[in-house]
Amino acid sequence: MANMSVLTSASKHYRWTLWRKGVCALLFCLLIFLLHPLPALAHAQYDHSDPAANATLPSGQPPAQVKVWFTERIEPAFSKLEVYNKARQRVDAGDSHMIPTDDSGLMVSLRSQLPDGGYTVVFRNVSRDDGHAVVGSFSFVVGNMPQPPPDNALLQQLQTSGDNFNVWSVAIRWLNYLGMAGLVGALTFLLLVLRPAQVRLAADPLIKSDRELLRVRSERAIQAIVVGSLALLLVGWVAFTFYQASVASDSSIWQAFGNGTVRSLLFESHFGSIWLPRLGLIALGVVLWLFWRYGVHEGGISYLLPVYLFLLGIGVMTTTSLDSHAAANHDPGLWIMFDVLHLSATGFWIGGLLAFVLILPATLHILLPGTGDRTRFFAALIPHFSRVALASVICLSVTGILEAGSHVSGDGWLSAPAWWQLLTSPYGIALEIKVGLFVILIGLGAFALRRVSPRMRRYAADPSKETGAASFAAGSLQRTFRRSILIEVGIGVLLLLVVGGLTSLSPPTQASTRTGNALLQQGQVGDLSYRLAVTPGTIGSNAFELSMTDANGKPVTKTNAVLLRFTMLDMEMGVQELVLQPVAGKPGLYSSTDSILSMGGDWQIAILVRRPGMDDVRTSFKIVVHV
C-alpha cells in the first residue's frame, strides 16, 4: 500500500512537472517574440506603383508605361495590368508583362500622346507563394484634372470567379486538412499511444481477453484510417488542382481545361513545382500502405513501415506550407518550419482523437464484458494520448500565436491598433472562431486528463467486481469518456473546416498605427526601409519626420527630393504636396511641419524619394485623422 502511495505521488509530481515545463516554454517563447516586430502578409496586394496611386502628373506629360509592385511574388502567366480612360476605353498597348529581374512587379506600355485626364489602372494577379488571386485598381491624373472615382464595373470585368473565400475553396481545403490530420494523427496514435499501451496490457496479469487478436484488430483499424486519409488527400489534391486552375484563369473548371490553363499551371508555375512532388508522396504512401497491409508481417521492416508513412505525412504537410501564407514571408524558411510544426501538432491532436474514436468499434467487442478489460484498455490508452495532446497544445499555442503575430503590422506585437486591425478583419474573425474552438478542445482534454484518467487507472488497478474495473461505476466512467471524446472529434473536424476558411481569406493589409501621440507607418520599398512619424497626427499643425536606410542599413543622405503627397479620400480636395528637408546632424532623417491635414477622416499619403542616378522610389498608404 505504501508503494502504491509513493507511485501515485510520483505520478502526480511527474504530471505537474510536465505541465510546468510546458507553460514555462510557452511563456518564454511569447516573451521573446512579443518584443520583436513581425511582417504583415496579405496575398499579393498592391505595394506601390509608378505613377503612384492618386498621383498628379504635369500637363502634356503622360507616362510612357505603368509599373506596379506587389507584396508577394506573382505568377507571370496569370497576372496582368490594364489601363482605362474615363470612358472605360483601354489605353494600354496590351503588352502587360513582368518587370525584368523583379518577380513581384508588372508593367504595361501606354499608347503615345495620351490627352490630359484621369486614368484607372486595374490589376489582377495570382500569388506565386500562396496561389490566391487579387484584383484591384488605382488611378492617376495627367494635368489639372480631378481624380477619377473608383470604378467597380472595371473590377468586375476582371473578377468573375476570383473570390478566394467561397464554398468550393473552403470545402476543398478542409478535405485536404482532414486527410493530412487523419494520416499523421492515426500513425502518431499507433506509434506513441497504441503500441506502448499494448506493451502495458501484455504485461497485465488481470487481462483475460485475447491480447494478440486485440493487437491485430486495432492495427487493422489504424490501417483503414490511413488508407482512407490517403484517399481523401488524393481526391482533395486533384480537386484543388482544378479549383486553382479556375482561380488562375478566372474561368470555370471546364474552360480551364480548354484554354490550356491546367497545362500552364502544372508546368509553368510555382504551384506546378509543388503539385507533382505532393502527388508522388501520396502515391508512395499508397505503395507503403500496401506493403504494410498485405506484405511480409515479420521482422523490423514491417514494424517500421508506419514510421515511414508518418514521415511521408509530414512531407505532405510541408508541401502545404510551401504553398501558403508562410511561404510569402521575408524569411520563408523559418515561417514554413513554424507552419509545418503547427500542421503537425494539429494532426497529432485532432487526427489522434479521430483514430481513438474509430478504433473503438473494432476493439471493444474483443474485450470480454464483465472482466474489466475495457476499463484497463482505456486506462492504458488515455495517459499516453494525454501526453501527446499536451505536447500538441503547447506547440499549437506557440506556433499559432507566432503565425497570428506575423499578420500584425506596426512597431511590433505590443501595438494595440495593429492587433485591433487584425481581430476586426474577416481573417481575424475566422481566427477568433478557431481560437474559441481550440479553447473548448483544451477544456475537454483537461477534463480527460485531470478527472477521467486518474479515476480510470484506479478502477483498472482494483480487481474487485464491486469497486474495480468491472464495476458499474467504471462502466459509467467509460461512457462519459466516450461521449467526451466524440464531442472532441466533432469540434476538431469543425475546427479543420474553419482552418479551410482561414486559409481562403487574406490577412489584413498594412495600415498606419498610433504610438503615444504620433501616427507611425513603416515598411520597405525597393532598396529602402522607411519610417514616417506624423505628430500629433490630428487636425492642424503636424510634424512629419521620415527616416530612411538603404539595403545595407546605412542612412539615406544623397537625395534630390523627398516629398509627401496628400489626398483627402472622403471628399475632393486635390493633391497637396509637402517637401521634407534633411535634418542637420541626423543622417537619413527628413522633416517638415505643416497644417496640411486640415480635415478629419481618411487620407492617402504617398512618399516619393528622388535620388541622383537611381529610379524614383514611391509608396503610398492610408492614415485616419481623428477630429
Cα–Cα distance between 377 and 363 in angstroms, integer?
9
pTM of the model: 0.65
Looking up cell 477544456 gives 443
- Omega before residue 536 within 30° of 0, cis: yes
* Strand 575-579 with 518-525, pairing: unpaired
Q: In CATH terms, are 59-158 and 513-625 the same topology?
A: yes
Give the per-residue pLDDT at 323: 73
Cα–Cα distance between 57 and 61 in angstroms, integer?
7
Q: Which helix (H) or strand (E) holds 316?
A: helix 300-322
- CA–CA distance from 559 to each of 515, 556, 562 (Å)? 28, 8, 7
Q: Which amino acid is at 466?
A: E
Q: Give 31-87 as a 3 state SS string.
A: HHHHCCCCCCCCCCCEEEEECCCCEEECCCCCCCEEEEEECCCECHHHCEEEEECCC
Cα–Cα distance between 172 and 177 in angstroms, integer?
9
Give the per-residue pLDDT at 96: 92
User: Exposure of 181 by Cβ count < 10 A (0-12 exposed, 13-18 middle, 19+ buried)?
Assistant: buried
CB-based contacts of 183, cutoff 8 Å, min separation 6: 226, 229, 230, 233, 285, 309, 313, 316, 347, 351
Looking up cell 480548354 gives 258
Q: Which three cell numbers stand for residue 354?
A: 479521430
Give the per-residue pLDDT at 110: 94
Q: How many CB atoms lie within 10 A of CB 465?
A: 14
Decide: 248 and 265 in contact? Cβ < 8 Å: yes
Decide: 511 and 532 in contact? Cβ < 8 Å: no
- CA–CA distance from 355 to each of 32, 186, 188, 229, 504 (Å)? 36, 5, 9, 11, 27
Adjacent-strand bridge partners of 134 = 125
Looking up cell 481624380 gives 147
CB-based contacts of 518, cutoff 8 Å, min separation 6: 533, 534, 535, 536, 537
Helix axes 426-447, 416-423, angle to 10 degrees: 90
Q: What is the mean pLDDT of each run of 10 residues along the chain (627 residues)?
A: 43 48 49 39 71 83 91 83 86 92 90 89 80 76 71 48 66 92 96 92 82 89 96 92 75 65 73 85 95 71 86 94 67 81 92 94 86 90 91 86 59 46 66 86 87 89 85 90 93 90 65 60 79 85 90 87 85 78 91 84 85 77 77
Q: Which helix (H) or strand (E) holds 436?
A: helix 426-447
Domain ranges within the chain, ordered by starting residue = 59-158, 165-504, 513-625
Give the per-residue pLDDT at 409: 45
Q: How many CB atoms lie within 10 A of CB 582?
A: 16
Sheet of 575-579: strand order equals 575-579, 561-568, 601-610, 617-625
Cα–Cα distance between 459 and 494 in angstroms, integer?
33
Give the per-residue pLDDT at 254: 67
Give the per-residue pLDDT at 541: 81
Cα–Cα distance between 21 and 200 in angstroms, integer?
26
Cα–Cα distance between 199 and 79 in angstroms, integer?
58
Closest by Cα among 490, 428, 499 to 169:
499
Q: What is the DSSP string of 249-270?
A: HTS-HHHHHHTTHHHHHHHSSH
Is the domain spanning 513-625 CATH 1.10.3720.10? The answer is no
Give the per-residue pLDDT at 147: 59
Torsion of CA 54, 59, 65, 68, to 10 degrees: -10
Q: Which three cell numbers stand for residue 81?
A: 495590368
Q: Which three cell numbers stand for residue 504?
A: 481562403
59-158 CATH: 2.60.40.1220
